[in-house]
Amino acid sequence: MWECIPGYNYYLMKKFFLPLLFCAFPFFAHSQDASVEQSTYGIQSGLLGLWFHNETALSSEIALRSELGFDTGFWAGSFYEKTGFLMAPVISLEPRWYYNLNKRQRKSRRTDGNSGNFLSLQTSYHPDWFVISNYEDIRIISDISIIPTWGIRRHLGDHFTYETGIGVGYRYTFAKEAGYLENESDLALNLHLRIGYRFN
């Protein structure tokens, strides 16, 4: 019957379907899946170091984190004149799976800057390039470590972040380069708590 009335279909679409479409648009826009940032970078500091990092999206939930920084060490005792302190360079590559971004978005929690829980495989290398220390002629022995890690990252305001993680993995030490007979391998622990600033 409607098709027999000239212009009725157009009238129905204009008065009913178009307003309905505009009302539904925000719902569909909000229901889109959350995603990691295409690229985000910043600086982080903790009790044992200072690190510059970048995270680049590989998929909607996976980011590749690259990091360049300094790991810190301390030592003391009756055999030393003073408490020792050193900072040694470290290079890290770490694919991260931010597995709960959609859940956080559904609960109206922040996901910008990759705020979420993650599982990662942290690979770090300490080269024997130089050492910053209050002792002279200090060297480190180069090593590489691979550590599966679970962690969380959250925002404090627009740019400040905090991050914590824990993991146990494998370390290989290039001891021959320092004059030892054999290279060595042992367990490695990744236990960190960092405060950071995100530049974008």
Please, which residues bridge with residue 96 across strands?
Answer: 63, 120
Q: Are residues 28 and 54 in the same domain?
A: no
- Name the domain count of the chain: 2
Report, as ranges of residue numbers, the positions in the chain whose pLDDT lies below 50: 1-5, 7-13, 16-18, 20-31
**pLDDT at position 32, please?**
60
Q: Are residues 11 and 95 in the same domain?
A: no
Q: Are residues 73 and 6 in the same domain?
A: no
Q: Are residues 64 and 157 in the same domain?
A: yes
Range of the domain at 3: 1-32
**pLDDT at position 131, please?**
94
N-to-C CA span, the chain: 59
Q: Are residues 45 and 17 in the same domain?
A: no
Closest to 199 measured CA to CA, from 152, 157, 159, 144? 159
Question: Using CA atoms, how far apart are residues 59 and 49, in angstroms rounded to an integer?
Answer: 30
Q: Are residues 169 and 108 in the same domain?
A: yes
**pLDDT at position 67, please?**
98
Q: Are residues 3 and 56 in the same domain?
A: no
**pLDDT at position 15, please?**
54
Q: Are residues 147 and 104 in the same domain?
A: yes
